[in-house]
Structure 1
Amino acid sequence: MNRRDLLGLGAAAALAPVAARAQAPAWPTQPVRLVVPFAAGGPTDIPARLFADELSKILPQRVIVENRTGAGVIVGSDAVAKAPKDGQTLLYTTVAHSVLRPLFPRLPFDPVADFTPVSLIGVIPMVITVNKDFPARTLQELVDRIRAEPGKYDYASSGNGGALHLATELLLRRNNLRANHVPYRGTAAAMPDVLNGSVPIIIDVATTCLPFVQRGETRALAVMDEQRLPQLPDVPTTAEAGFPGLLAYTWHMVMAPSGTPAPVVDAAAAAFGKVAAEPGVRQRLGDLAMRVVDNNSPAYAATWLEAERTKWETIIQEAGIRVD
């Protein structure tokens, strides 16, 4: 190899790191706004702040949680949809995002076209529970009772069109059952009537229902997940109870405005995935009944989101659910 070839190789080697640096996304270049469309201190805000704190330790810029509440998740989502497409503003949202289009046809944004999924953080399963004195000790017994007396039984939810309502309609629709929906303004408002038995059935988020089940005030019949909850090791999954495919969650996902460059989206996904893999973070999320998802890629998040949209839009149409 002659001197000219050696010089050429040396120049190429010297330029390689420069080229790599030029291709690497400059993210973040300023503090990142992580918009949470829920109130501070709630079950969505707490994990978001955990991620913001941990991300701030490994990124060159801080991550700041900004609670933007109003009209459900619409106000906060709208702020992100209209934010610059640079990855500096991200949305930390839940399953509520997947039902925006069928429930709210006149939104100020398009929940599909205006967002790019970044990373699915984790899932918190729904748990089928009943009043402690309700005469059904298994999910099959509950289904049999509702089927034997259509329209006799009432079930509670945290509001019309919410995750609890949709999960119960999934159970009813998949098994050709009929029960009466009693919507409340939040789970806290519903629980007194569940506890006194006047509205004896509620499918609730695991995080919320665990204290009642563990104190013996309600009875858990099945977990709507593919895995049992560590906090309820004796409660079967819906598949184990004889109802495979009956799955429902509230999940947590990070999204960016549509049009955010793919390298920036990938960098953000990698950062969230790195935090989610930390044992301490997984433990703290597990304490909130969240099962962390190992695949943090944007592609996986997009596939998950589309499947959830399809499932819940079908249930909304079949049940004729409307939000006035």
Structure 2
Amino acid sequence: MKTTTWLGASLIVLAAGSASAQDYPTQPITMVVPFAAGGPTDTVARLIAEPMSRELGQQIVVQNVAGAGGTLAGTQVANAEPDGYKILIHHIGMSTAPTLYRNLPYDPTTDFLPIGLVTDVPMTVIGRKDLAPTTMAELIPVIKEQGDQLTYANAGIGAASHLCGLLLMTALDTQMTTVPYQGTGPAMTDLIGGQVDLMCDQTTNTTGQIKGGEVKAYAVTTKERLDALPDVPTTAESGLPDFEVSVWHGLYAPEGTSTEIVEQVSAALQKALADETVIARFGDLGTAPSSQEEATPAAHAERLTSQIELWRPIIEQAGVYAD
């Protein structure tokens, strides 16, 4: 009798879960951004939130949960109910966190379900506008000569600007004085104000300032020049052929979220990335939306796993860790 009762109750629960997935969504969805408002990941989130909202029939509310290099937001979403109403957008930091943080409270590969890749954003090496070198070729010997006399701003440990700085200093075998901030916004403000010398950040956050003459652009970290910044040379052109990095972004749901919901959100993402306005806006920022094939759970999972393995030896060699 107890077995029959338990079985009946289980079937009711399964039926309720199935109905819930079929009805999804019935309320607004929160997209958690692990960095401050106004930063590059926030920009990407807000670009896709509106067209995804239209496709899903419910508003996607962007919520900024900054701090600890994105791990506060990651923890919040990892511990959220797996019902599709709280999802995470994160960048390359999702793949570096397992090595960078000694006490990471979640595992990116087991505590989340990848939904799809959003975009690959190039990086730009920029400086305060009155910095003496005018080209990257001129800047390189200055960095090597002055070393820690130069200040390098980043948005905090684990941020894209922090990772780009690690690669730059490793490539030049020279350490600058790093100045971490609570987000890209305040770091950019101080760079524009001349309080710090250099930064390397995503085109989604730097293109406007470069075009407006508020900062000095030295190089883009891509194999080819960007249509949005045709006058800015590549790092390879500037004498750093092996210094190439882009920042990929992806959406995640908590582990346990139903396959049906993940696929539904992924389909909405794919639709949003094909929107002409979104494509044009990404282009203005020096990047492009992910392809329909990349904006899938399978492609995203493969990228995450491969990037964890790529970054592990780089971070271990740099010897930079966070608690």
TM-score normalised by structure 1 residue count: 0.78
Query: Bigger CA drift: 31-40 or 117-126?
Result: 31-40
Rate the CA distance shift 1:200–1:48 in 2: closer, same or farther, 3 A.
closer
Which stretches in structure 2 are left out of the alignment for 5+ residues? 1-17
> Once superposed, which parts of structure 1, at least 4 consecutive aligned residues long, lie more than 6 Å away?
none
Task: Find the counterpart in structure 1 of residue 63 from structure 2.
Answer: 67
How many equivalent residue pairs? 300
Q: 1:68 to 1:146 in 2, by over 3 A?
A: closer
In 1: Cα distance, 2:316 partner to 2:240 partner:
22
Is 1:93–2:90 an aligned residue pair? yes
Seen in structure 2, the aligned counterparts of structure 1 residues 222 and 27 have a Cα distance that, compared at 3 Å, is farther
Q: 1:55 deviation in Å? A: 2.4
Quick one: which amino acid aligns to residue 232 of structure 1?
L
| 8 A contact 2:266–2:297 mirrored in 1 | yes
Alignment match, 1:8: none
AA aligned opposite 2:30: L
Question: Partner of 1:221 in structure 2?
Answer: 218
User: Secondary structure of 1:304's partner?
Assistant: helix
Inter-partner Cα distance in structure 2 for 1:122 and 1:221: 23
Structure 1: tracts of 5 or more residues without a match: 1-21
Q: What amino acid maps onto 1:58 in structure 2?
A: E
Is this contact kept in 2: 1:56–1:62, CA < 8 A? yes
Q: Which moved more, 1:268-277 or 1:236-245?
A: 236-245
For residue 120 of structure 1, report the CA deviation from its aligned partner.
0.8
Distance 1:245 1:268 in 2: 37
1:153: which partner in 2?
150
- Cα distance in 2 for partners of 1:233, 1:103 equals 34
Tell me if 1:302 matches 2:301.
yes
Report the 3-state secondary structure (helix = DSSP H, G, I; strand = E; otherwise coil) of the residue aligned with 2:173: coil
Partners of 1:71 and 1:194 lie apart in 2 by 20
What per-residue deviation string (whole Å, max 9, x for no partner) do you get for residues 259-278 of structure 1? 44445433432221121011
Return the offset for 1:151.
4.1
Matched residues, percent identical?
35
Query: Quick check: 1:36–1:91 contact (8 Å CA) kept in 2?
Result: yes
Q: Distance in 2 between the 1:196 and 1:50 partners?
A: 28
Equivalent residues in 2 for 1:1-324, closer than 5 Å: 26=22, 28-31=24-27, 33-37=29-33, 38-39=35-36, 43-59=40-56, 61-67=57-63, 69-72=65-68, 73-148=70-145, 150-191=147-188, 194-195=191-192, 199-294=196-291, 295-323=294-322
1:300 to 1:202, Cα distance in 2 relative to 1, 3 A:
same
- Note closer, same or farther for the CA distance 1:203–1:104 as it changes in structure 2 (3 Å cut): same
Q: Distance in 2 between matches of 1:89 and 1:227?
A: 37
Structure 2 distance, partners of 1:66, 1:133, is: 36
Instruction: Decide whether aligned partners of structure 1 residues 275 and 227 sit closer, same or farther in structure 2, where only a CA change above 3 A counts.
Output: farther
Label 1:300 to 1:225 Cα distance change in 2 as closer, same or farther (>3 A).
farther
Q: Distance in 1 between the 2:23 and 2:174 partners?
A: 51
> What SS does the corresponding residue of 2:232 show, helix, strand or coil?
coil
Give the aligned residue type for 1:166: L
Q: For residues 155 and 261 of structure 2, what CA distance do their matches in structure 1 show?
A: 37
* TM-score of the superposed pair, with normalisation by structure 2: 0.78
Report the residue type matching 2:24 in the other structure: P
Distance 1:52 1:195 in 2: 29
Structure 1 residue matching 2:22: 3-state secondary structure: coil
Give the RMSD, CA atoms, in angstroms. Answer: 3.1
Q: Which moved more, 1:294-303 or 1:132-141?
A: 132-141
Is the alpha carbon distance of 1:118 and 1:77 closer, same or farther for their aligned partners in structure 2, counting shifts above 3 Å? same
Query: CA 1:107/1:161 → structure 2, altered by over 3 Å: closer, same or farther?
Result: closer
